[in-house]
Structure 1
Amino acid sequence: MRPKFKLVVFDLDGTLVDCESSWVFVHRHFGLDNDASLELYLRGEIDDEEFMRSDIALWKGRKPDITIKDVENILLGIGIYPGARKLFSLLKGAGIRTAIVSGGLMPLARRVAFELEIDHVLANGLAVDKGGRLLGYGLLEVELNRKGLPMERLMKRLGIDRDKVAAVGNSSIDAPMLELAGLGIAFNPIDEEVTEIADVLVEGSDLMALAPYLIPETHARPKGGRRRNRRGR
């Protein structure tokens, strides 16, 4: 039996991993916060690239010679949610492609993609010199408030129509991805906006609870998952 979906796109922070923000996780490691720059970003006074530069500057203020390896080691403290390995094994076995689209850090996205055998990874990188030291700026791939754009480019590149795509996210910044997909799932949501836009609401942090929606051909609907009617569709 052919699977209903050909591609499933996942957010990373708070969706695949137990971490609200990989950037914030590094800040907290150094006893820092980015509240000031976040406020500027939310007011539209700085863009994504400047937001990343300000975050990286905070780290370099604590450790001027910080390397990409240092960041990777810090991010090892972030765990993957339960059920992830089994879910991605099932998706792979069903011939369904998978992707991460995240405004989070590429070092974490790359590790998670390797561990779960995810096919495509779109996240924000860190520029480094030949010795691996951070240069002070990021490599922008995913704008925080425009996550639908890289997802749409990926769909076009793969030649997959929206009705064959599912998207999974946990917050309002994931709403553009859920709107773009044929099926939008709010997983372990942290705000009302993502739950309002989603077709399906799945509470809790066990990723296997997604299987009946992503691979309905082989899995019964779980307890705790609610089907919703998407408004405006």
Structure 2
Amino acid sequence: MTHILTLVAQLEATSLTDAVVNRVRDAVRGGAPTVLSPGEAVDIPLAAPPDPAPLAAALGGAAIDAIVVKARGRRKALLVADMDSTIIQGETLDELAAFAGIGEKIAAITARAMNGELDFKQALRERVAMLKGLPVDRLERTWERIRMTHGARELVATMRARGAMTALVSGGFSFFTGRVAQALGFDLHRSNVLLDDGAVLTGAVGEPILDRDTKLATLRALAEQRGLKLSASMAVGDGANDLDMLQAAGLGVAFHAKPVVAAAAKARVDHAGLRALLFAQGYPATAFTGVD
């Protein structure tokens, strides 16, 4: 068998029963399934990538993600992850804007930028300029509101335990990436810098701005640094500025992504949490470390 179909259920909404698994197996003409987590995740070996239509029909709109990967080289030695709306819930810039009383205005620009409708650099400068004069202590108060995405800690800890490098690469801000990286154990983080005068934000962001080109360049540089082919890498993100690195990585996963990203990525997770990225690599739940 040359490929693997991994099914991952959103347990809050459904579960992988034998009936569901057998129905999918028949639809894709797969081999005997391997349970990775009872009711949550299974692997189904395939002789070739499945036809999407029968697979979708077999799933019947259930909250179950279907990820197809090559059987060879499933486990990745490099993880490059976006932060906002991927490793953490929500957008930190939008949270900051809420303290300035312009949350809805900035959130609208964020949504358009993440869907690829606006130039990322221009949109970032525009939004940051609107925060001019915001007291710097609002950064700490925003950090107190941040919640990690379910499975983030397991993803980073399990991959690191197996020798992988893990990098948090974000178009967001270093104030937050540094704290998230430390909390979850990422090996390194790269992001933008919000400028302040010691008391309030100046309304400017440090140059050069980390954008989609930088994310792709970072993926390539880290792979080269580790002596890895890009096929040995995994990238995950949700916005248009993640798309280039998702397409270049050995396994690029659009995570609860904007439509333009979900449509173009090699793999997508629309329902489950970040544990799905471990299941897609063939890890059973019993092998996870750092369990949330």
Q: Normalization by structure 2: what TM-score?
A: 0.61
> 1:73: Cα distance to partner?
2.2
> 1:115: Cα distance to partner?
0.8
Query: Aligned ranges for residues 102-113 of structure 1 at < 5 Å?
Result: 102-113=170-181
Structure 1 residues 57 and 156: alpha-carbon distance in aligned structure 2, compared to 1, 3 A threshold: same
The unaligned stretches of length 5 or more in structure 1 are 221-233
Equivalent-residue separation in structure 1 for 2:214 and 2:99 (angstroms):
28
Equivalent-residue separation in structure 1 for 2:148 and 2:162 (angstroms):
22
SS at match of 1:76: helix
Q: Choose 1 or 2 for highest CA Rg.
A: 2
> 1:162: Cα distance to partner?
0.4
Query: Do structure 1's residue 92 and structure 2's residue 164 form an aligned pair?
Result: no
More displaced stretch, 89-98 vs 205-214 = 205-214
Match of 2:84 in 1: 13
Equivalent-residue separation in structure 2 for 1:89 and 1:39 (angstroms):
33
Amino acid of the structure 2 residue aligned with 1:194? V
Match of 1:116 in 2: 184
Structure 1 residues 3 and 145: alpha-carbon distance in aligned structure 2, compared to 1, 3 A threshold: closer
Equivalent-residue separation in structure 2 for 1:213 and 1:123 (angstroms):
27
Give the counterpart of 2:204 among 129, 134, 137: 137
> 1:158: Cα distance to partner?
3.7
Q: Is the 8 A contact 2:255 2:269 kept in 1?
A: yes
Q: Is the 8 A contact 2:238 2:257 kept in 1?
A: yes
> 1:38: Cα distance to partner?
9.1
Match of 2:52 in 1: none
> 1:126: Cα distance to partner?
1.6
Q: Is the 8 A contact 1:99 1:119 kept in 2?
A: yes
Map Cα deviations across residues 198-230 of structure 1 (whole Å, 9 max, x no partner): 22222225211221124x2x327xxxxxxxxxx
The unaligned stretches of length 5 or more in structure 2 are 1-72, 286-292
SS at match of 2:84: coil
Equivalent-residue separation in structure 2 for 1:36 and 1:200 (angstroms):
26
Equivalent-residue separation in structure 1 for 2:109 and 2:264 (angstroms):
29
Match of 1:56 in 2: 128
Match of 2:70 in 1: none
Structure 1 residues 143 and 164: alpha-carbon distance in aligned structure 2, compared to 1, 3 A threshold: same
Aligned-residue RMSD, C-alpha? 3.0
Q: How many residues align?
A: 207
Map Cα deviations across residues 8-63 of structure 1 (whole Å, 9 max, x no partner): 111111111110x321221122211236799899565xx72x654443332224x4
Equivalent-residue separation in structure 1 for 2:110 and 2:191 (angstroms):
20
Match of 2:94 in 1: 24
Q: Is the 8 A contact 1:102 1:142 kept in 2?
A: yes
Q: Normalization by structure 1: what TM-score?
A: 0.75
